Structure 1
Amino acid sequence: MVCALLVPSYLHAEPLRIFAAASLKSALDQVVALYAEDTGQAVTVSYGGSSVIARQIQQGAPADIFFSANLAWMDLLSQEGLIAPDTQANLLGNTLVVIAAPGETELERLQDLRRELRGRRLSMAQIDAVPAGIYGANALRSAGIWEEVSTRVAQSANVRAALALVAAEAVPYGIVYRTDAFAEPRVTVAYSIPPELHAPIIYPVAAVRQSEASSAFLDHLTSKSAIALFAKQGFVPLIGE
Structure 2
Amino acid sequence: MKRLVLIFTIVSTLILASCTNTDAGNKTEILVAAASSMTPALTEIAAEFEKINKDIRVSFSFGSSGKLAQQIKGGAPVDVFISASSTDMDTLAEDNKVRLDTRTDIAKNTLVVIRQKNDDNSRLSEENPFTSKINHFAIGNPETVPAGVYAREALIKLREWETLKTKFVFGKDVRQVVTFVETGNAERGIVFASDAHSSDKVEVIYEIDPAMHSSVVYPGAIITATKQPKEARAFLEYMKTSHVQEILLNHGFTY
Q: TM-score, normalised by structure 1?
A: 0.89
Name the counterpart of 1:96: 111
Q: Deviations over 1:65-84 (max 9, x none)?
A: 00000100000000001001
5+ residue gaps, structure 1, are none
Q: In the aligned structure 2, how far is the partner of 1:65 from the partner of 1:187? A: 31
Match of 2:131 among 114, 130, 138: 114
Quote the sequence identity (%): 29
- Partner amino acid, structure 2, of 1:113: F
| SS across alignment from 1:175 | strand
- Map residues 90-169 of structure 1 onto 2, 5 A cutoff: 90-101=105-116, 102-103=118-119, 104=121, 107-109=126-128, 112-117=129-134, 120-169=135-184
**Count of residue correspondences:** 224
- Partner amino acid, structure 2, of 1:107: E
Q: In the aligned structure 2, how far is the partner of 1:106 from the partner of 1:91? A: 37
Q: In the aligned structure 2, how far is the partner of 1:17 from the partner of 1:106? A: 45
CA contact (8 A) 2:35 2:82 kept: yes
Is it true that 1:191 corresponds to 2:206 in the alignment? yes
The structure having more radius of gyration, on CA atoms, is 2
CA contact (8 A) 1:100 1:187 kept: yes
Q: In the aligned structure 2, how far is the partner of 1:211 from the partner of 1:13? A: 14
Q: TM-score, normalised by structure 2?
A: 0.84
Name the counterpart of 1:63: 78
What's the C-alpha RMSD, in Å, of the aligned pairs? 1.6
5+ residue gaps, structure 2, are 1-18
Match of 2:195 among 164, 175, 180: 180
Q: Which runs of 4+ in 1 moved over 2 A?
A: 104-109
